[in-house]
Amino acid sequence: MKQGDESRVWVIVGVLGSMALGIALIPLRSITTASNLAFVFLVFTIVVAELGGRTAGLITALVSAISLNFFLTEPYLRLTISKPDDVVAFFALAACGLIAAAFGRRRERWLDLAGREGKELDVVKKLVERLRDGRPLDEVLGDLRRAFRLGAVALRGAGDRILAAAPSGTTPGIPDTRLTPDTLMPSNETRIRFGVRGVRLPEGGGSLRFRPEQSGVSLDLWEGDAQGFSLDEARTLTIAASILEMELARARQAEASARIPAAH
């Protein structure tokens, strides 16, 4: 079940459950005060906020307060309150429910962050596995392009020679803008574009270069999504570029070592 569908399910559970609690507690309203019965709603709201997230917790808190007022405070079956203690119980329940919903929101953020980190780790893991299996660089770059929503990506070697590109068969130009590793911000421009997620690539593309004095390898990137990159995505893309550069260096070293016996 998708996260949005799951949240809607918990909203329905929160609304119907709050109303059902109000009806179920009617026999107890003559035995104890509404302030004591409010704890039952509060526990229910905390559970819904924890399992269903911010929206479900917020709606449950509001419906619980209304249900307490309608079913369990005098005059009954009316949205009015006559006793001061019941007024306090109503607003206390509403306030505590909103706090519980806020904690549910924080939990949503933690889960979202954990999900993004897991996805980015999978991208790096998949990249390493593809390189280890000897897959063509065009195919590897195609995976990166899809994972990071890029319009195009090219791997260049010494002399700006294209080693691989995605989409396959494209011959993109050379970007004028150098990108800062870890952030993908332009290193030679004062104007930086931002999207919903974070920094955006320059309009003419940008180049990530690693040890240019040694390998001359660069990863050129062109924007495919105006939302931009989060800081975690930028760092993951930098790690992927570094892995590609190290793999090319290893391949060149292995090729050079293979030529030495042949020369003798």
Q: Give residue 15's pLDDT.
A: 92
pLDDT tens digits, 3-17: 556 778 989 999 999
| pLDDT > 90 in the chain, percent | 6
pLDDT confidence of residue 259: 61
Residues of the chain with pLDDT under 70: 1-5, 86, 101-120, 189-190, 210-215, 251-252, 254-264
Predicted model pTM: 0.55
pLDDT at 117: 52
Q: Are 33 and 89 in contact (CB under 8 A)?
A: yes
Structural domains of the chain, ranges and CATH numbers in brackets: 3-114 (no CATH), 135-263 (3.30.450)
- Identify whether 75 is preceded by a cis peptide bond (ω within 30 of 0): yes
SS3 call for 152: strand
d(CA 84, CA 74): 11
Residue whose entry in the numeric block shows the structure tokens 């569908």 = 5
Instruction: Please give the pLDDT value at position 263.
Output: 47
203 burial level (CB within 10 Å; 0-12, 13-18, 19+):
exposed
